[in-house]
Structure 1
Amino acid sequence: MEVFMKSALNCSVTINLDGGDGEIIVSDKNQTLIISIGLAAITLRNFFSDLNALYTYKKTKFKLEHYGSADYYLFVRDSNVIRIEEVRKPGGRYIYKFNLMDFLLTFEKGFQKFFAKLRKDGMLPLKNDKDDFMYPINKDVMYSFNHFSKELKK
């Protein structure tokens, strides 16, 4: 049986609004998970939805693919632990484990900070010409994030 200490997780989010590629870094003193994403308009909407399904037990695992690459991440819920397998092709498999609630709350907080910065910079709320289906932070992405965020706070 593994025992997880209450850890101080950090999460930072960087997304290129011109191309849609991004990076989500979740770390504690023992491990650093770097999630690379492509096509943020699609990836993020599905990612928030899948994390929500993991949280509510509608799913116990899901795969997050990095568009444009054979690499992927497998997210698995095991009770109150989230195990994330980073699979690199060719090259290997790296496994990260976090307390599920710590991970989800830190992840949500990282995105809250990212969106707050976009608001401060005048990028949010979206202007009508920016709500294109493929714009990295479109209404679908925001809706999916807000739904995920609301579920965590229930």
Structure 2
Amino acid sequence: MVRGGKIDNLHAIFVPIGDGNHIAGIAAYIKRVFPKVKVFGVEESNRSVMAWSFYKDKRVLFVKQNGEVLVEAIGEECFSICVEFLDGIMIVDEHAISTANEEITKDIGGDVSALCIAGVQCYCSKYVGEVCNKNIVAVIDE
């Protein structure tokens, strides 16, 4: 889709954040080539290290309640790229992911990551007028 430059009416792309590497590359490319397209990161509420880093305006260490380190921190360069190019971060809970997964399984079958689909659903429910008749892309795998 992007290679052919066919992104007419593309409103936004939703990308799983993970360790930050994938989204940093996607966000930097999309914003440099198609600056009007919005790029959003999506994180699970119990793994929102990038969102907390944005909130604190610095990279943070994220630790699970049981003391096990989930993610040490988003990489320094990934964080600075995301700060520059992301339009926002959608934080979704397990219920939203589960609901999205049920809908995906019902509609297309198979095992698909529902994280970004849940992020898209959350965004669309909040900005329904803004996204009417526009295209949205959800990256479903890191």
Fold conserved between structures, TM > 0.5: no
Which structure has greater strand proportion? Answer: 1
TM-score normalised to the size of structure 1?
A: 0.26
